[in-house]
Amino acid sequence: MIASASGPEEPFALGVCYYPEQWPAERWPAYAQQMRALGLTYVRIAEFAWSLIEPEPGRYDWAWLDAAIDLLAAAGLRVVLCTPTAAPPAWLVQAHPEILPWDRAGRPRTFGSRRHYDPASPVYRAHSRRITTALATRYGTHPAVAGWQTDNEFGDHDTARSYSPAARDAFRLWLAERYETVADLNAAWGTVFWSQQYSDFDQIDLPNLSVAEPNPAHALDFYRFSSDMLARFHDEQIAILRRLSPGRWITHNFMRLQHDFDHYQVAHNLDFAAWDSYPTGAVEYSSLSTSDKRRFARTGEPDLIGFNHDLYYGVGGGRPFWVMEQQAGQINWAPSNALPAAGAVALWTAQAWAHGANVVSYFRWRAATVAQEALHSGLLRHDETLDRGGEEVAALDTSAWDTAPLQREFALLHDYACLWAYDEQPHSAAASYWEQVMLFYRALRSLGVDVAVRHADSDLSGYRLIVAPALTIVDEARATHLARYAPSAHIVFGPRAGSRTPSGNIHPSGQPGPLADLLGCRLRNFDGLPPWLSVEVDAYTVTTWAESYQLAGGTALHTYSSGPLSGQPAVVRHGGVTTIGAWCAELVRDLLASELQQLGIPTLDLPMGVRVSRRGQSTLWQNFTPELVTLPDGTTLAPVSYRLDSTRS
């Protein structure tokens, strides 16, 4: 990656997503002035503009975009340009229907919305390089262009994985490269099971429409392949931009908890990560209880937002990130789309900053009067009046928000292959990788501590506490890597640690495979609990998942007190390493509090919806609830508001 001087090192700034092509050109000058007046710095444009830029094959129309950029530049605004590949034009699909993605049901998906391309298609890859080259040639060195966004929201609408003939052909080649011989593939996938042995790579189908569920190793490799296709597609664009647009940064706007590709891999060559934050939609689609959904319907729930901030800080290489699209009014894509509470837009902006955002860019300038997102809000209403969110943006004072890199003492480990392996065989209806990760993340946040989300294989030096909530895949290398930190840090593992090999198999020695020495225990049994069943660990009620251990050097901190595992260890301690096998928010919280106490770290007892985050020398107290709350220092915080203290608490 080429480090870039622009972007994340500058003062905190605001931006907006803007589609000049959707509005009469005579309104453009006034819009630019109004953006400045609102205090905006960055304007993202040309996101879905391919059919305007290239209305016919090979004929480019730059005039409108030239004019749009120049007007913004003239108003002192900085432009973020997008490669327009998330929406190839109709003429390209007509000429090359083989670029379309196919869905899991085995059907080609049609033109008429967006993301209608298969990154495994060599035809599409060529066109992607061509349009990227054309755009970067035209604007790569334009002085107003601050940086680039590639494509848009990889993986949205279930597009990270395509089941097309193009994908099938590419998958077979990918497997042949990865395994060289079918014998090696057969060994890795355990095809000895159910007579699945292949004698030819061309016998291998994509893992959809199989009679029973597919082999999880087959699925896992397909997920890796799909992620690779996206990364290759992405890297091709980045290489072109690096060459033709020197000195500009490059980012991509990722999505909340998107899990269908390896974000570390796809982001590897970016300067920093960005993501699109829509807090009310996150609540609507969450597993929160109905009462919590009601409580947070208009503010979002802070940990569902904050986790993504922390995630993309890490995905971007441990660097300040952007919120490229920040909800600033009602969204349009949830089953119901409630208005945000007064104060919510300001609160979201402040929280993003405190979690490491250097820019928050609102979506979108003016509410669209046409097409799929016509009911989505903008800073301006359909009728050009300033909407509720726009008024909050106008009132924001961000002068005290310095853009220091984050300092974090605690790390939470994450890895997409672990996620894929977990969710392919969840074994309990309420269990999933993200739910298990959030169980630990929420506990830390409720204790008032900040946490870095890090890839499991990254350098973890300097962290005093390392939490691995759901580290399913562990081989010798990963086990050795983690063991390296045991002398210097406390480490906490959640259920299923070390349950899988990189192929997605079970270790012949059983769980936790090569982690056994570190954990001081081995798995005895696991118990997948349906919603109507629970077991106990003393006064704690365990739902969803319970696993017990055979001690092998460690000592039992807690044992099950009911159910089939009664009397068996539920939590094991081995030196500074703790293994938690019981799914219970209170137990996890109490154990993590105990770890922090042992490390001499003061903790708080924050209720759901009240959070604290620190950046530089400042502390940001946040109240996402509809009530006035009393903070630990005895002061109060109004509903849906924040307070910035200039000292680090």
Task: Just list the catalytic residues.
Answer: 153, 325
3-class DSSP state for residue 59? strand
Question: Which residue, 130 or 427, has its beta carbon nearer to a copy of itself?
Answer: 427
Question: Could you tell me the smallest distance in angstroms from the CB atom of residue 194 to a copy of itself?
Answer: 5
Structure token pair of residue 578: 């703790």
564 binds a copy of itself (CB under 8 A): yes
Please, what is the end-to-end C-alpha distance for the chain in angstroms? 35
Residue numbers 431-460 binding a copy of itself by CB under 8 A = none
Query: Rounded to whole angstroms, how far apart are CA atoms 282 and 609?
Result: 14
Selected binder of a copy of itself within 134, 342, 585, 631 (CB under 8 A): 342
Question: Which residue, 394 or 533, has its beta carbon nearer to a copy of itself?
Answer: 533
- The stretch near a copy of itself (CB under 8 A) out of 110-118, 226-234, 464-472, 596-604 is 110-118
Query: Rounded to whole angstroms, how far apart are CA atoms 460 and 587?
Result: 25
569 binds a copy of itself (CB under 8 A): no
Residue numbers 182-201 binding a copy of itself by CB under 8 A = 189-200
Query: Rounded to whole angstroms, how far apart are CA atoms 642 and 615?
Result: 14
DSSP 8-class letter at 109: P
Which run of H or E residues covers position 178? helix 165-179
Question: Which residue, 369 or 635, has its beta carbon nearer to a copy of itself?
Answer: 369
Question: Could you tell me the smallest distance in angstroms from the CB atom of residue 34 to a copy of itself?
Answer: 17
DSSP 8-class letter at 505: P
Question: Could you tell me the smallest distance in angstroms from the CB atom of residue 92 to a copy of itself?
Answer: 10
Question: Could you tell me the smallest distance in angstroms from the CB atom of residue 542 to a copy of itself?
Answer: 12
Q: Is 387 left (phi over 0), alpha (psi -120 to 50) or beta?
A: beta
**Interaction pattern, residues 14-33, with a copy of itself; x per rule: CB under 8 A:** -----x-xx-----------
Query: Rounded to whole angstroms, how far apart are CA atoms 39 and 16?
Result: 10
Question: Could you tell me the smallest distance in angstroms from the CB atom of residue 253 to a copy of itself?
Answer: 15
Instruction: Show Cβ contacts of residue 94 under 8 Å, excluding neighbours closer than 6 positions.
Output: none
Query: Rounded to whole angstroms, how far apart are CA atoms 436 and 29?
Result: 50
Nearest to 314, CA basis, from 463, 460, 469, 454: 454
Question: Which residue, 193 or 586, has its beta carbon nearer to a copy of itself?
Answer: 193
**Interaction pattern, residues 116-145, with a copy of itself; x per rule: CB under 8 A:** x-----------------------------
Question: Which residue, 425 or 561, has its beta carbon nearer to a copy of itself?
Answer: 425
Question: Could you tell me the smallest distance in angstroms from the CB atom of residue 563 to a copy of itself?
Answer: 8
Question: Could you tell me the smallest distance in angstroms from the CB atom of residue 554 to a copy of itself?
Answer: 17
Strand order in the sheet with 610-615: 610-615, 618-623, 641-645
Owner of token pair 């994340």: 8
**Strand bridging mode 577-580 / 569-574:** antiparallel
Question: Could you tell me the smallest distance in angstroms from the CB atom of residue 8 to a copy of itself?
Answer: 29
108 binds a copy of itself (CB under 8 A): yes
**Interaction pattern, residues 274-303, with a copy of itself; x per rule: CB under 8 A:** ----------x-----xx-xx--xx-----
User: Each residue of 498-519: b (16+ CB within 10 Å) or e?
Assistant: bbbbbbbbebeeebbbbbbebb
Question: Could you tell me the smallest distance in angstroms from the CB atom of residue 300 to a copy of itself?
Answer: 14
The count of C-alpha atoms lying within 13 angstroms of the C-alpha of 608, restricted to the half-sphere facing its C-beta, is 15
Selected binder of a copy of itself within 74, 209, 239, 477 (CB under 8 A): 209
Question: Which residue, 173 or 374, has its beta carbon nearer to a copy of itself?
Answer: 374
Query: Rounded to whole angstroms, how far apart are CA atoms 549 and 526?
Result: 9
- The stretch near a copy of itself (CB under 8 A) out of 46-54, 446-454, 599-607, 613-621 is 46-54
Looking at this protein, which amino acid is placed at residue 44? R
- The stretch near a copy of itself (CB under 8 A) out of 28-36, 250-258, 506-514, 585-593 is 506-514
340 binds a copy of itself (CB under 8 A): yes
DSSP 8-class letter at 511: T
Contact predicate 407/508, CB 8 Å: no
- The stretch near a copy of itself (CB under 8 A) out of 238-246, 434-442, 482-490, 499-507 is 499-507
Question: Which residue, 78 or 109, has its beta carbon nearer to a copy of itself?
Answer: 109
- The stretch near a copy of itself (CB under 8 A) out of 101-109, 234-242, 447-455, 581-589 is 101-109
Residue numbers 217-276 binding a copy of itself by CB under 8 A = 217-218
Query: Rounded to whole angstroms, how far apart are CA atoms 547 and 55?
Result: 59
Question: Could you tell me the smallest distance in angstroms from the CB atom of residue 373 to a copy of itself?
Answer: 7
Measured in whole angstroms, the distance separating CA 582 from the mean position of its chain's CA atoms is 26
- The stretch near a copy of itself (CB under 8 A) out of 120-128, 169-177, 303-311, 502-510 is 502-510
For 257, other C-beta atoms within 10 Å of its C-beta total: 18
Query: Rounded to whole angstroms, how far apart are CA atoms 119 and 88?
Result: 12
Size of the site for a copy of itself (CB under 8 A): 123
Query: Rounded to whole angstroms, how far apart are CA atoms 191 and 217?
Result: 9
- The stretch near a copy of itself (CB under 8 A) out of 142-150, 308-316, 399-407, 508-516 is 508-516
Give the helix ranges, DSSP H, for 402-475. Answer: 416-424, 433-446
Question: Which residue, 64 or 483, has its beta carbon nearer to a copy of itself?
Answer: 64
Residue numbers 371-390 binding a copy of itself by CB under 8 A = 371-375, 381-383, 387-388
Selected binder of a copy of itself within 39, 165, 502, 528 (CB under 8 A): 528
Question: Could you tell me the smallest distance in angstroms from the CB atom of residue 139 to a copy of itself?
Answer: 18
Which run of H or E residues covers position 551? strand 545-551
Selected binder of a copy of itself within 26, 211, 461, 600 (CB under 8 A): 211
Contact predicate 524/559, CB 8 Å: no
110 binds a copy of itself (CB under 8 A): yes
Selected binder of a copy of itself within 177, 336, 397, 600 (CB under 8 A): 336
Selected binder of a copy of itself within 58, 143, 508, 634 (CB under 8 A): 508
369 binds a copy of itself (CB under 8 A): yes
Question: Could you tell me the smallest distance in angstroms from the CB atom of residue 117 to a copy of itself?
Answer: 9
- The stretch near a copy of itself (CB under 8 A) out of 120-128, 210-218, 439-447, 595-603 is 210-218
For 123, other C-beta atoms within 10 Å of its C-beta total: 16
DSSP string, 13-49: EEEEE--GGGS-GGGHHHHHHHHHHTT--EEEE-TT-
Structure token pair of residue 257: 């908890």
- The stretch near a copy of itself (CB under 8 A) out of 135-143, 244-252, 453-461, 503-511 is 503-511
Looking at this protein, which amino acid is placed at residue 429? A
Owner of token pair 């002061």: 635
330 binds a copy of itself (CB under 8 A): yes
